[in-house]
Structures are given as structure tokens and as C-alpha cells.
């Protein structure tokens, strides 16, 4: 604001000052309008974010759907911020300070240092300046997948004196004899297909952009050969899981092409999983998928041949077949998450005080489980007897009373009937600290199968579905044990190519690899160290 005494007497000068102030006001108004527009955009994005994170959702929805929504919302937020910063830079000539993320990159990543020194380090006094400190920043750099050719030369040696003998080093063993791919290449194709959900035809398109023409059928042949060689490892994994005393089991659909009818048919992946971490068990986690053409309990019985112990499952009636085995060596524990889901579905239909009360009591059980996670089985059992058992006893009284009040054919009646039907298996966790409250452990291992199913649409054949199940078992077991699947597959395929003994096949299981190499991503894996 210019003081009255400082105003010039000249009319033209006064007009110039007024015009300048009007221009400045217009600029400021434009900035304010842009800021208000940004605020409106951000408020809408925040509302969308909250709705995606905390809004009502179906419990059957795939979590990846919400991840995709959050990705797009967060990207849109950053785009708004970037546009705002560009305007600030244009208005003021300097950008807004950005938040930094220094020192958080993993230590095992290789570091490539660049030193940026001043052009002239000579002081004005004539002496050379010396380093008194430095500023260090780290940025994540990604080099796209590089293709290279391994050229193997094997010179032949002969004797000039006698010319009677020629020596040459034997050719190294490869998984595909005389073929093009290295074991690392096979591992890359397999991980891309079964872990990163890239069908082979898409991989072929990616390679083509690099000038490498590989037909999809060629890649399929590589995968098939690797699957054949990995089958003993898969069988060892399945056998190892069945030595446990406590397992999870679940199944999911697997669309399979029926070549004779030119349409898809519905098969099933049966997942057998072990996760003893919640009660401090010594066995490593793992999962084995088995493809079957149907959902009959006979397939579960066949897969579980040789297993005796506790099997935690959902309420599918096919598992009851296991209780009829002559040895009666399997005990079924049921899943409270499925019981809760029945009440949750009813609670969304309107005012449902009965369902809401049931959900509240189940929530109290889960809070107790959170407190005792990681304790020994005995400690978990003691805590459940003290804290969970009174809740279960009250829940049973509540269940009986409300079943008598409502129609058995109503939605709430059906939900209560479901809980009552599986009651003995639902309360089994009170007596055994190894049993979890639900079977979510195995359901989490199935999610990648569902995601790959969406990308690949269907398996091309029953045999292809079994290969899918087998390789997915090994990859998901790697992930459960915090092992890089590509590193493990490369090392394992190399060991198999070099003649690893079938009698020591257990040495190739992922958790043995982790123990020998010291962790994921290790490139040197010598199975003879295990022997």
C-alpha cells in the first residue's frame, strides 16, 4: 500500500500505479482461484480415498481391486500437487520444497557412487581447499531387464609330437540340452507367468520389443520342461506338509479349456497349507496346490493320504468324508471368519440387532487372539481358557436363545443355523493352542491363484492346470518364507541340471535354500553343502 504523501502529482504516473495494482490484484486472484480449484480436487480425492479404504465393501471382493483404486487415487493426488508446484514455479520463480526420502533404501542393493565436485577448488588466497564434509543423497535407480548371450567356448587340445590324443573339457549340463535358455531365463519366464501374472503371449510381446523373437509355443515348451524337472521338488513339499500335525485346507475354482467341446469346464485347485508361526512352531510355512477335475470330498481324501492330525477348513460338507476314515485320524476345526461372514451379510440388510450383537462377540474373540499371537500352544490355550471361554459360553446361550426366536428360513435364522451346525469344530480352538480362530492363512495363499486366473482367463488343459498348481506351490512357498522366487528357481534348476540326487531332493526345498544361503536373493547355492 502506497502512502498518500508518496503519491505522485502527475496524472499519467497515477494511472500507471493504478494499472500495476490492478494487474497484481488480477494475478493474485488467479492464484487464489487455482488454489481453490486444487483444494476442491484434493477434497474429492480424499473422499474417494476414505471411501476406498474405510467404506462399506463386500467381504468377498478381491483385495487387489481396492489396491487398484488406491493406486489411481494416489496418482491423481500427486498429479494435482505437481500442477500446483508448476504454477508456484511460474509465479515465484522457485519450486516448493519437496519431501525427501533419504536413508530408507535397502542396504543390500548395490551402490554406484557419483562425486560432483566444484569446477575450481582453489581458494582466493591461492591455497587449495580441502574436504571438510559432504552431503549425501540416495535415489532408487532401475535398469530394465537386460538380455545377454552366454558364449561358451571349449577349445580342443592336440599334441604336435604324436598327434594321437585330443582333449576337450566336457560340455556343461543344462536343463534343456542344446537349447537356447539358461536356467535363469527359465526362472524369469516362470516367475513372470506365475508370480507376476504375465501370460506367455504378453512376455513374447515384451521380448519382441527388444528384438528377440520367441514364439509363445517356445516359451510354453520351456515352462513344460521346467515343470517336469520340478515335479519331484513339489512332491517332496507336499509330503513334508503332510508330516505336520496341524494343516489348513481350502479350494478354489480353476477354469480349464475342454478342447473337445471348445469351451471351458470348471476344475478346482485344492490348497494344503501350513503356517505354525502364530504359535511359534518350528516347521516352516508352505503351501501345496493340487488340481482336481471336481470338488468332491474324495479328492480331499486322496490329497490327504498319509496325513493325521487337525485340519482347519471352512464349512464345505465334502470334508466330512475325512471323518469316516477307518482310522478316524483327522479332526476338523472350523473357521470363525466364515461364521462371522454369515452374520456380516445379514447386518447389511438393515436394522439387525441380533447380527450386530453376534459380530460384537466374535470381535472380542479376535481381540484376544491378537494379544496372544506368537505365544506357545500351552500359553495360548491357558489364555483362551481364561479369557475366550467365558465369551464362548455366553455366545452359546445367545445362539440357542435367538435360534428359538427367529424363523429358521430367515436370513438371520440361516446364519445362526450355520454356526450351530459347526459349533463343535468352531470351539475346538479352546482346547488346542495350535488351532487358529480362522482359516485365513490358506485363503491368503489362494489370492495369487485368483489373480492369475483373471489374467490368464483359463488353463489350456488338465495337465496345464496341474503344472500351474505345482509351480504356484513352489513360488508361494518361497514367498511365505521371504525368499526371492527367481533366485530359488535359478539355483534349483541349475542344481537339477547338474545332476542333483533324487535321494536328497529335500535339500532343494525353499527353506533349506534359505538356511544355506542366508536369505533371499543369494546367487550361490551349493546343495552339496547340505549333504
Question: How high is the pLDDT of residue 83?
Answer: 65
What is the total count of domains within the chain? 2
Backbone angles phi, psi at 265, to 5 degrees: -120, 165
Question: Does residue 26 lie in a domain region?
Answer: no
d(CA 388, CA 368): 7
pTM of the model: 0.76
- Give yes or no: residues 424 and 494 share one domain: no
- Give yes or no: residues 369 and 425 share one domain: yes
- Give yes or no: residues 485 and 431 share one domain: no
What is the crossing angle of helices 411-421 and 336-347, to 10°? 170
Which residues are within 8 A (CB) of 518 and not within 5 positions of it... i.e. 6 or more apart?
Answer: none
Q: Which tens digits make up the pLDDT trace of 413-446? A: 999 999 999 999 999 999 999 999 999 999 888 8
Last residue of a domain, one of 437, 460, 482: 437
User: Are the C-beta atoms of residues 291 and 310 closer than 8 Å to each other?
Assistant: no
Question: Does residue 3 lie in a domain region?
Answer: no
d(CA 293, CA 49): 41
Question: How high is the pLDDT of residue 90?
Answer: 66
Least confident span in 82-91, 107-116, 168-177: 82-91
3-state SS assignment for residue 166: strand
What is the crossing angle of helices 353-372 and 389-405, to 10°? 160
What is the crossing angle of helices 462-480 and 485-497, to 10°? 120
Q: In this predicted model, which residue has the larger pLDDT, 526 or 482?
A: 482
Range of the domain at 506: 183-237+472-529
* Residue 400 confidence (pLDDT) above 90: yes
Q: Which tens digits make up the pLDDT trace of 345-359? A: 888 877 688 999 999
Residue 128, Cβ neighbours under 10 Å: how many? 7
| Closest residue by Cα to residue 383 from 418, 449, 433 | 433
Last residue of a domain, one of 417, 437, 457: 437
Question: How high is the pLDDT of residue 258?
Answer: 60
Distances from the Cα of 317 to the Cα of 144, 242, 301, angstroms: 49, 21, 13
Question: How high is the pLDDT of residue 76?
Answer: 58
Question: Does residue 291 lie in a domain region?
Answer: no
Question: Does residue 303 lie in a domain region?
Answer: no
3-state SS assignment for residue 190: helix
Question: Does residue 301 lie in a domain region?
Answer: no
Backbone angles phi, psi at 355, to 5 degrees: -65, -40
Which residues are within 8 A (CB) of 249 and not within 5 positions of it... i.e. 6 or more apart?
Answer: 270, 271, 272, 273, 300, 304, 311, 312, 313, 319, 439, 442
Is residue 116 very low, low, confident or very high in pLDDT (cuts 50, 70, 90)?
confident
Question: Does residue 365 lie in a domain region?
Answer: yes
d(CA 114, CA 117): 10
β-strand 246-258 against 309-312: which pairing, if any? Answer: parallel
- Give yes or no: residues 355 and 410 share one domain: yes
Q: How many CA atoms lie within 13 A of 146 on its CB side?
A: 5
Question: Does residue 154 lie in a domain region?
Answer: no
Cell numbers representing residue 434 in the block: 495350535
Last residue of a domain, one of 386, 410, 437: 437
d(CA 270, CA 294): 10
| Closest residue by Cα to residue 87 from 21, 47, 43, 37 | 37
- Give yes or no: residues 420 and 490 share one domain: no
* Residue 4 confidence (pLDDT) above 70: no
User: Are the C-beta atoms of residues 412 and 354 closer than 8 Å to each other?
Assistant: yes
User: Are the C-beta atoms of residues 435 and 333 closer than 8 Å to each other?
Assistant: yes
H or E stretch at 310: strand 309-312
The percent of residues above 70 in pLDDT, for the chain, comes to 79
Question: Does residue 306 lie in a domain region?
Answer: no
Measure the N-to-C terminal CA separation of the chain; round to a whole number of Å.
87
Amino acid at each position: 500500500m502506497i502512502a498518500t504523501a508518496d503519491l505522485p502529482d502527475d496524472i499519467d504516473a497515477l494511472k500507471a500505479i493504478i494499472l500495476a495494482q490492478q494487474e497484481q490484484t488480477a494475478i493474485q486472484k488467479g492464484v487464489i482461484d487455482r488454489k481453490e480449484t486444487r483444494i476442491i480436487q484434493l477434497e474429492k480425492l480424499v473422499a474417494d480415498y476414505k471411501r476406498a479404504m474405510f467404506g462399506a465393501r463386500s467381504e468377498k471382493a478381491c483385495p487387489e481391486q481396492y489396491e487398484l483404486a488406491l493406486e489411481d487415487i494416489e496418482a491423481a493426488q500427486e498429479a494435482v500437487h505437481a500442477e500446483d508446484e508448476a504454477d508456484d514455479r511460474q509465479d515465484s520463480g522457485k519450486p516448493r520444497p519437496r519431501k525427501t526420502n533419504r536413508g530408507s533404501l535397502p542396504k543390500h542393493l548395490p551402490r554406484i557412487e557419483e562425486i560432483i565436485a566444484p569446477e575450481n577448488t582453489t581458494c582466493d588466497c591461492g591455497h587449495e581447499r580441502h574436504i571438510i564434509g559432504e552431503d549425501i543423497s540416495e535415489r532408487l535407480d532401475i535398469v530394465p531387464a537386460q538380455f545377454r548371450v552366454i558364449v561358451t567356448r571349449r577349445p580342443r587340445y592336440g599334441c604336435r609330437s604324436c598327434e594321437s590324443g585330443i582333449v576337450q573339457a566336457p560340455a556343461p549340463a543344462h536343463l534343456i540340452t542344446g537349447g537356447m535358455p539358461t536356467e535363469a531365463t527359465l526362472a524369469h519366464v516362470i516367475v513372470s507367468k506365475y508370480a507376476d501374472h504375465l501370460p506367455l503371449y504378453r512376455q513374447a510381446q515384451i521380448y519382441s520389443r527388444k528384438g528377440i523373437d520367441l514364439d509363445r509355443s517356445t516359451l510354453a515348451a520351456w515352462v513344460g520342461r521346467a515343470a517336469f524337472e520340478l515335479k519331484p521338488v513339489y512332491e517332496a513339499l507336499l509330503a513334508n506338509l503332510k508330516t505336520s500335525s496341524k494343516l489348513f485346507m481350502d479350494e478354489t475354482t480353476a477354469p480349464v479349456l475342454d478342447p473337445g467341446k471348445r469351451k471351458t469346464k470348471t476344475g478346482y485347485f485344492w490348497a494344503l497349507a501350513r503356517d505354525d508361526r502364530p504359535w511359534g512352531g518350528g516347521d516352516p510355512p508352505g503351501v501345496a496346490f493340487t488340481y482336481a477335475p471336481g470338488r468332491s470330498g474324495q479328492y480331499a481324501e486322496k490329497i490327504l493320504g498319509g496325513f493325521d492330525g487337525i485340519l482347519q477348513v471352512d464349512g464345505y460338507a465334502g470334508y466330512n468324508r475325512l471323518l469316516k476314515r477307518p482310522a478316524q485320524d483327522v479332526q476338523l476345526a472350523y473357521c470363525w471368519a466364515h461364521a462371522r461372514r454369515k452374520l456380516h451379510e445379514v447386518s447389511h440388510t438393515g436394522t439387525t440387532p441380533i447380527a450386530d450383537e453376534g459380530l460384537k462377540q466374535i470381535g472380542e474373540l479376535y481381540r484376544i487372539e491378537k494379544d496372544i499371537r506368537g505365544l506357545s500352544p500351552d500359553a495360548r490355550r491357558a489364555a483362551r481358557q481364561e479369557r475366550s471361554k467365558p465369551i464362548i459360553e455366553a455366545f452359546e446361550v445367545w445362539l440357542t436363545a435367538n435360534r428359538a426366536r427367529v424363523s429358521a428360513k430367515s436370513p438371520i435364522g440361516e446364519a445362526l443355523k450355520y454356526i450351530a451346525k459347526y459349533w463343535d469344530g468352531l470351539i475346538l480352538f479352546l482346547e488346542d493352542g495350535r488351532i487358529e480362530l480362522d482359516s485365513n492363512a490358506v485363503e491368503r495363499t489362494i489370492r495369487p491363484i485368483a489373480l492369475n486366473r483373471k489374467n490368464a482367463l483359463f488353463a489350456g488343459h488338465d495337465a496345464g492346470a496341474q503344472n500351474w498348481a505345482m509351480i504356484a506351490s513352489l513360488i508361494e512357498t518361497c514367498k511365505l518364507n521371504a525368499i526371492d522366487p527367481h533366485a530359488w528357481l535359478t539355483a534349483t534348476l541349475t542344481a537339477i541340471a547338474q545332476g542333483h540326487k533324487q535321494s536328497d531332493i529335500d535339500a532343494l526345498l525353499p527353506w533349506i535354500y534359505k538356511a544355506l544361503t542366508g536369505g533371499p536373493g543369494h546367487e550361490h547355492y551349493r546343495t552339496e553343502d547340505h549333504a
